A = this chain, B = another copy of it.
Amino acid sequence: MGSGVYKNLIRNRDILHERTGSYLEVTKVAVRDLGRQRDVKVAPEKLTTDWRELVNDPEIDVIVELIGGDDEAFNLISAALEARKAVVTGNKAVLAKHGKRLIELSEEKNTPLYCEAAVAGGIPIIKAVKEALVGNRIDSIYGIINGTSNYILTRMTKAGINFAEALQEARDKGFAEADPSLDINGWDAGHKAIILGWLSYGRWLKPEEVSVTGIEEISAEDVAFADSLGYEIKLLGVIRQGQGDERIEVRVAPSLIPRTHILSSVDGVFNAVAVHGNVVGETLFYGSGAGQDATSSAVISDLADAAENLINEVGCTGFVPHGDYGAALPIEETLSQYYLRLSVVDEPGVLARIANITGENGIGILSVIQPEPKEPSKHIPLVLLLHDAAYGKIVDALGEILALEAVGAEHTLLRVETLEH
């Protein structure tokens, strides 16, 4: 990612100077391995393996942190802020883990910390929420914020292939890393959702306050059922604050979204973030979620902001929440509709017994599909769409349903998001 920034700073050097009045010069580059082949040429005397050299260099005004990971990045960013050097980071993991401390340190030192590249690559969602929507209470944010997952789910939907095949395809095309676990298990999106939660509501939710589910369990069958019901399955980040209840929810899960909503048209490695503000109403921001170039556009925009503020001798600016707008809503209390696929014995009365259980738990049924089995088999699928209910209620009801003799163990429970705020 560092190479992308370096390359594009040179490529658009004149445009940048003409627009901002500054030349952004790369003075020094800290790398892990001096010998590694890179796709940009950096003069050897600019390279070092010790980031402390950058932090201690009085000629350097801004440090760009793109090393990833959390603890070493935390040390680097802290040391830079302590030395009163502005920091630009693209690292969501370090912010999700240490954001509270880093932002406090940034304000304490009156030295800005920029993080546009940490969420949704080329989409300027940080600037949008922080500055452009500053006059809005954020009602909700729904985001497709992991390109790898979205690529896999798009291919499962469009090509009818299964998860393993789609993951292999993503690997072959370079859209999944050698170890794609953070993409697949939802935590890459989880880190981004935590950052958006802070930006919207001032509170850094702890990982244990955030519910994160990945896409590993999604089957081709579920994708097809969702399709026949008018939905697409997307890995969705939800950041939301209640209207009466001020508690905050931040969660990530594969969810059914209606095909009538523009978010459902976001395919492949693209990301999109739908923000509902109480003044602006509905907005959506769309672009490349990852990739060297898209991300370096975000880093360069932060560098330009940093340069502008240095020239004007401005430290930390406003535009961030300084309060803490509410506690975390426990996951059991979060509301949504649900998609429930069960595997049931093909005999009369099963649906009635299931409907009894949902009814007793106060959960309404929106629709039911029971497709004709293709071949005789003991268990056949039964798909239910369930009305808005607290997650805890659904889990309780599901436990009772799975205990029925006529219901097999295999099942899928997914959220259905209407995307209303």
The interface of chain A, by Cβ under 8 A from chain B, is 8-9, 11-12, 15-16, 18-22, 116, 122-124, 127-128, 131-137, 262, 265-266, 270, 277-288, 291, 293-294, 296-298, 300-301, 303-305, 308, 312, 314, 317-323
Contact = CB atoms under 8 A, between A and B. Distances in A.
A110 to B, nearest CB: 11
A301 B135 contact: yes
Contact of A134 (B20, B136, B282, B285): B20
B323 A18 contact: yes
B301 A132 contact: yes
Nearest to A322: B18
Given A19-B319, A127-B131, A262-B265, A279 B308 contact: no
B265 A279 contact: no
Nearest to A296: B279
Contact of A287 (B123, B284, B301, B303): B284
B297 A12 contact: no
A182 B262 CA distance: 28
Contacts of A291: 281
A312 to B, nearest CB: 5
* Interface of chain A: mostly helix, strand, loop or mixed: mixed
A292 B287 CA distance: 28
A314 B11 CA distance: 29
Nearest to A304: B134
Contacts of A277: 297
A301 to B, nearest CB: 5
Contacts of A134: 16, 19-20, 300-301, 304
A319 B19 CA distance: 5
Contacts of A318: 19-22, 304, 308
Contacts of A320: 19
B284 A280 contact: no
B8 A122 contact: no
A321 B12 CA distance: 13
B262 A279 contact: no
Given A9-B135, A135-B304, 6 more contacts: A18-B323, A124-B132, A127-B131, A127-B132, A284-B285, A312-B314
A308 B319 contact: yes
A318 B16 CA distance: 10
Most chain B beta-carbon contacts within 10 A, residue among A11, A135, A278, A298: A135
